[in-house]
Amino acid sequence: MSDTATTYKKIKDLNRDELIAPGTPLCAGCGGLEGLRLAMKVLGEKVLTVNAAGCFTLLSVYPFTPLRGSWLYTTMASPVPAAQGVRDALDIRLQNGMAKEEDLQLMVVAGDGSTYDMGLSATSAAVHRGLDFIYFCYDNEGYGNTGFQLSGASPFGSATQTAPSTDDHPAGQELDKKDLFEIWKAHRPAYLATVSPREPMDLSNKFAKAKAMKGPRLFICLATCPTGWGFDPKDSLVMAKLAVDTGIFPLKEYIDGKVVHTRRPRKRVPVEKFLERQKRFRHLFVPEKRADLIARIQSNVDQYWGRYE
């Protein structure tokens, strides 16, 4: 594509149009939905959203769709190869003379459950093939739609329904969060970025950049989750700000072979400020404060940023 990317400088520059109508049954305060809403404003109407099983499957419940564009629900593990099929078919039709105006941008929308776990294999193959598509992962660090069970994205020290905190397993989740950014980066996609619903300019500029490119363009969106993480929906964006300010959720992009941090917290807020406000980390504070476990979380974050400081 020869288009140069739009650059958004102020909030006022953003598209005022809503491309996702309100009224879906998604949770109040869903950070992922806010991220998708912002992304759609950049991408426009000519988008086919290809969905995997997860919270966002509930965006379209017969007979309703909130999208101006198109939607295809697939399975939990195969939204990406389905996108491959659409892309291949549209390319064939373009070659046979279909008008360019009829072409669609393909966007896979999947949660961390599909993305980090069941769908990872098929995604790996598609990125390797160089599929021209956008991938939007809303990461709420658990299998949310089924009631918040453990996923490969669940961070150390978080409690989920299938890895609860007990005396024998005080941390709850005893493994570190899978580093999907690194896994995807090893595939050398055309573009890769993390985004936050609380950083609309950062998010919008990243999507604008991606919109002007071809090939696999992959996004991990922080999906603050009142229902799964245990906080009041009204605090969703506060939680998102804390995730970034503590350094727990790095805002970065991979482009032209290099990783660039697009927002770097100058003085990181202690992770405790993020953890103490969520029920999924409550066991780190009650009945007794687990300073050792909190320290481990802090240490992970410090080690990450230590590489870039």
Partner 1 sequence: MDVNTNRRIMLTGNKAAAWGARLARAQYVPAFPITPQTEIVETLSRWFADGTMKGKFTNLDSEHSMFSAAAAGAASGVRVFTASSSQGIVYGLEVLYTVTGWRVPFVMVNVSRALATPITLEPDHNDVMSTRDCGLIQLHAETCQEILDFVLMGYRIAEDRKVCLPVLVNLDGFYLSFTREPVLLPDDKAIAAFLPPFAPVQPVFQASRPMARAPAVFGGGNYMFFKIQHHLAALQAAAAFTKVAHEFGARFGRFYEPVEPYRLEEAEYVFVMSNSFATKGKAAVDALRRGGVRAGLLKLRLFRPFPADAVRNALCGHAKVAVIDQNLSPGTGGITFPEIVAALYEAENRPQKILSVIGGLGGKDIKEEDFLAVIEHLDRPDFKGPLFLFNENDLTQFYKLQRIAS
- Where do contacts with partner 1 occur on this chain (CB under 8 A)? 45-46, 48, 50, 57-58, 60-62, 64-65, 67-75, 77-78, 80-86, 88-93, 98, 101-104, 121-122, 124-126, 129
Q: Which is nearer to partner 1, 144 or 200 (CB)?
A: 144
In the complex, what is the shortest distance from the CB of residue 143 to partner 1, in angstroms, rounded to a whole number? Answer: 17
Residue 250: CB minimum distance to partner 1, A? 30
Q: How far is the CB of 188 from partner 1 (least distance, A)?
A: 17
Quick one: 93 or 273, whose CB is closer to partner 1?
93
Asked if the peptide bond before residue 265 counts as cis, ω within 30 degrees of 0, the response is no
Residue 44 or 265 having the CB closest to partner 1: 44
* SS3 at position 27: coil
Degrees to nearest 5, angle at CA 150 with 57 and 283: 125
The minimum distance between CB 104 and partner 1, in angstroms, equals 6
Nearer to partner 1, 48 or 203 (CB): 48
Q: How far is CA 48 from CA 62, 75, 83, 115, in A?
A: 17, 16, 9, 18
DSSP, collapsed to helix, strand or coil, labels residue 255 as strand
Smallest distance, partner 1 to C-beta of residue 157, A: 33
Number of neighbours of residue 271 by Cβ within 10 angstroms: 24
Contact 156, 248 (CB under 8 A): no
- Reported as type and span, the H/E element at residue 298 is helix 291-306
Kindly state the tokens that stand for 43. Answer: 């991408």
Pick 14 or 90: Cβ nearer partner 1: 90
